[in-house]
Amino acid sequence: MATTRTRVLILCTGNSARSQMAEGLLRARGGDRFEVYSAGSRPAAQVHPGAVQAMAEIGLDISGQHPKPLSQFLGQEFDYVLTVCNHAAETCPFFPGRAERYHRDFTDPPAAPPEQQAATFRRVRDELAAWLDELFFAAGR
């Protein structure tokens, strides 16, 4: 008997850092329980190297992931849509449908001063992990 996996879409503007790290974290933590995607309203050309490095530091390889446009997922059904940027009114995308929606603003690591970027990527990675644990893995979930 086939098990239905929980479909999750994680959205941000550039889909190069926060949403990519969240995708990698949820995919690793949730295993076969989840089908996880991320996308952006204005996707960057590549996943930010700082995101790849921060994830590698905890043993997760997201180097094979790539930014995707939100339009790629229009018309698909998701159980959850998560937004991880706070420019919601202007730049963080809205995804139509019946999915449960959760939003939390996370600092944009690439916007940090160069000397603080690595630490910011690590902090945001850890904040994302805690938030995803709270949403999907807390007792009773």
pLDDT at residue 1 greater than cutoff 60:
no
Q: Retrieve residue 56's tokens.
A: 């590698």
Active site residue 22: no
1 belongs to a structural domain: no
- CATH code: domain of residue 101: 3.40.50.2300
19 belongs to a structural domain: yes
Indicate the pTM of the whole model: 0.92
Amino acid at 130: A
Give residue-wise pLDDT tens across range 77-127.
Answer: 999 999 998 764 355 556 677 889 899 999 999 999 999 999 999 999 999
Q: Which domain holds residue 67?
A: 6-133
Active site residue 12: yes
The count of structural domains within the chain is 1
Q: How much is the pLDDT for 19?
A: 96
Choosing from 51, 81, 92, 124, the catalytic residue is: 92
Choosing from 22, 85, 124, 128, the catalytic residue is: 85
Give residue-wise pLDDT tens across range 36-75.
Answer: 999 998 899 999 999 999 999 999 999 999 999 988 998 8
141 belongs to a structural domain: no
Active site residue 85: yes
